[in-house]
Amino acid sequence: MDGAALSIASIVVAIALLALAAVLWMRRNGPRATYILPRPEGALCGIVVGSNSYDCDVVGEAKFQGELESIVGGRSEEGAEYRCNAVLRREPENPHDPNAVRVEIDGHCVGYLRRAAAKEFSQEINVLGYQLAVCKAVIVGGWTATKRQEAGHFGVRLDADRPFEFDEPPRA
């Protein structure tokens, strides 16, 4: 093989490796800015605008580890980084906090907004007339260390910046 053919072959191999790396990265991380957030049927629902920072913590996930493990398809040595949609639903009958906002993924309660965020969120959706809202979420953690027989907890983070913003006014 002469020098020119070797250079072309090297370029083709490099492009193939870059394409493979991009495909593997997309499979692991998924699309970030192209989520389509469905609106639950029959509910006046807002879509929370986020910045892809996933800085909004969810609390109480320790009570919902079984649900989270089921949603992500089980534990692994690497842990999970499962991107999905979350429904934020006010829970005014909550005995601990009348402003409580439950976080649901795939129809399962997986935790709650922190108290201060829940109060702000509840006030905002009341003003806008929404019954609930949808936002992007990521479930992380859930790793296993088989040699030490340890397992990490799952956690949930929301792409919901504060102050909360919604994509459009309520429909008539």
pLDDT band, very low/low/confident/very high, at 35 (cuts 50, 70, 90): very low
Listed residue (92, 100, 97, 167) closest to 136, CA to CA: 167
pLDDT of residue 33: 36
Q: Check whether 170 has a pLDDT greater than 50.
A: no
1 plus 42 within the same structural domain: no
User: Mean pLDDT throughout 46-65?
Assistant: 94
> Is residue 18's pLDDT more than 70?
no
Q: Which residues contact 52 (CB under 8 A, 6 or more apart)?
A: 32, 33, 136, 159
More confident residue, 110 or 143: 110
Domain count, the chain: 2
Residue 39 predicted with pLDDT over 60: no
Q: Are residues 25 and 45 in the same domain?
A: no
Q: Are 61 and 81 in the same domain? A: yes
- The pLDDT mean for the chain works out to 83
Determine what percent of the chain is predicted with pLDDT higher than 90.
55
Give the rounded percent of residues in the chain with a pLDDT score beyond 70.
72
43 and 126 assigned to the same domain: yes
Please give the span between the terminal C-alpha atoms of the chain, in angstroms, as a whole number: 71
Residue 119 lies in a domain: yes
Residue of 58, 42, 53, 77 lying closest to 139 (CA atoms): 58
Residue 57 is part of which domain span? 33-158
